[in-house]
């Protein structure tokens, strides 16, 4: 990336909560310049400030206040090298597919293409090697594409736990099994979210589809790419090892920040000690840091020694929410090691991951910017 060069980007679902977070982050980005803001036909034609019900803790960036909102159709985004999607799943599938067919690079926060065997599901600190399947994704389209593709980031609860899992597998080899219990913030349900009479003074021990997503997404992210007899590559969730995951997901009365209690069993015997685990987590340095992604934090995993940390209210916006916090690392009497991880679901669990994925793709020459 040449110094001083800018890349035009667009945002789909710009008036939603994830779209707002995209805009907040992109407005201060050193490379990416917002060129188009897409929303529903009800918002099209209005200045962004009048179309949006702003829910961020910072004001609407001045650079986008008067930008006219357009419908989510490719012709309005033809000058964009990258399109970020914060669309609701109800509409994201057809729209994102149309943008890919128009030879546009789409980085999506939506779930619609996560299970597609030719679409990479990428947590930027965990599996950027999965970008390798993009040329095949392009070749399988009709007609084949030169620049267009879809990349998805993971569900917010999956992202938080996969980052320390990646660090531990890099240091100590495969993890055989994991038990995870999540305490997920209400912002993860979008706006207007969970009714107050359901969540105040309460914990809801069910989030529709969440446990299944956390279980299979973890396998796809930590798995590999296998080639079939016909020469076509696809993601194989068990290509590297038969990891078993059991998840229990709960909604709790916290605004931002998913807290997860995790127990893991390693394949290696004897397993690492709690102190070895702490050191490995603190030393973890992913590609996003080493290749110079501007949104990468200084410390990907912040390890807490205090007995009562991490806590959402204290730790969720450290490093602008681009890292995860891990604490209470200790022996597990059932498996091997247990710990608590906190991830900011609206930052690294959503928009920040998509932006980091795009930064990696730019630096690796996957995004065509000319």
Point out the residues that are catalytic. Answer: 156, 258
Of the candidates 319, 309, 321, 312, which has an alpha carbon nearest to the alpha carbon of residue 353? 321
Contact 121, 138 (CB under 8 A): no
Looking at the DSSP assignment, which residues form a beta bridge with residue 182?
A: 249, 260
Looking at the DSSP assignment, which residues form a beta bridge with residue 104?
A: none
Of the candidates 352, 11, 18, 22, which has an alpha carbon nearest to the alpha carbon of residue 190? 18
- Work out whether strand 149-152 and strand 105-108 pair parallel, antiparallel, or are unpaired: parallel
Residue tagged 């110079």 (tokens):
292
Is 289 strand, coil or helix? Answer: helix
Tally of CB atoms within 10 A around 129: 12
Instruction: Provide CB contacts within 8 A for 253, sequence distance 6+.
Output: 186, 199, 200, 201, 202, 203
Maximum C-alpha span of the chain: 63
Q: Distance between CA atoms of 289 and 302, rounded to whole angstroms?
A: 14
Burial 335-348 (b: 16+ CB within 10 A, else e): bbbbbbbbbbbbbb
Give φ, ψ of 83 to 5 degrees. Answer: -125, 125
First to last CA, the chain: 12
């Amino acid at each position: 990336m040449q110094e001083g060069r800018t890349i035009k980007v667009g945002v789909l679902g710009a008036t939603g909560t994830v779209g707002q977070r995209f805009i907040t982050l992109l407005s201060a980005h050193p490379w990416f310049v917002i060129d188009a803001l897409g929303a529903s036909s009800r918002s099209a034609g209005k200045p962004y400030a009048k179309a949006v019900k702003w829910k961020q803790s910072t004001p609407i960036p001045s650079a986008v206040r008067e930008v006219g909102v357009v419908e989510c159709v490719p012709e309005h985004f033809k000058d964009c090298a990258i399109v970020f999607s914060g669309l609701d799943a109800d509409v994201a599938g057809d729209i994102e597919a149309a943008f890919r067919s128009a030879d546009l690079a789409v980085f999506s926060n939506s779930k619609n293409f996560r299970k597609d065997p030719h679409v990479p599901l990428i947590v930027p600190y965990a599996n950027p090697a999965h970008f390798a399947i993009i040329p095949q994704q392009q070749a399988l389209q009709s007609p084949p594409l030169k620049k267009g593709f879809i990349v998805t980031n993971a569900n917010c609860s999956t992202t938080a736990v996969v980052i320390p899992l990646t660090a531990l597998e890099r240091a100590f080899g495969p993890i055989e099994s994991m038990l995870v219990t999540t305490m997920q913030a209400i912002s993860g349900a979008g706006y207007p979210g969970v009714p107050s009479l359901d969540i105040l003074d309460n914990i809801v021990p069910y989030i529709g589809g969440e446990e299944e997503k956390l279980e299979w997404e973890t396998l796809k992210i930590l798995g590999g790419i296998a080639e079939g007899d016909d020469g076509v590559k696809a993601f194989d969730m068990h290509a590297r090892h038969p990891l078993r995951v059991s998840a229990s997901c709960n909604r709790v009365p916290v605004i931002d920040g998913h807290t997860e209690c995790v127990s893991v069993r390693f394949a290696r015997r004897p397993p690492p000690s709690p102190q070895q685990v702490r050191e490995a987590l603190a030393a973890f340095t992913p590609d996003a840091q080493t290749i110079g992604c501007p949104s990468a934090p200084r410390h990907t995993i912040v390890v807490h020694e205090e007995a009562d940390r991490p806590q959402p209210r204290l730790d969720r916006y450290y490093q602008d929410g681009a890292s995860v916090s891990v604490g209470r690392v200790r022996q597990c009497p059932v498996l091997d090691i247990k710990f608590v991880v906190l991830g900011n679901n609206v930052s690294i669990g959503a928009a920040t991951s998509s932006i980091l994925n795009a930064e990696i793709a730019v630096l690796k020459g996957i995004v065509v910017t000319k």
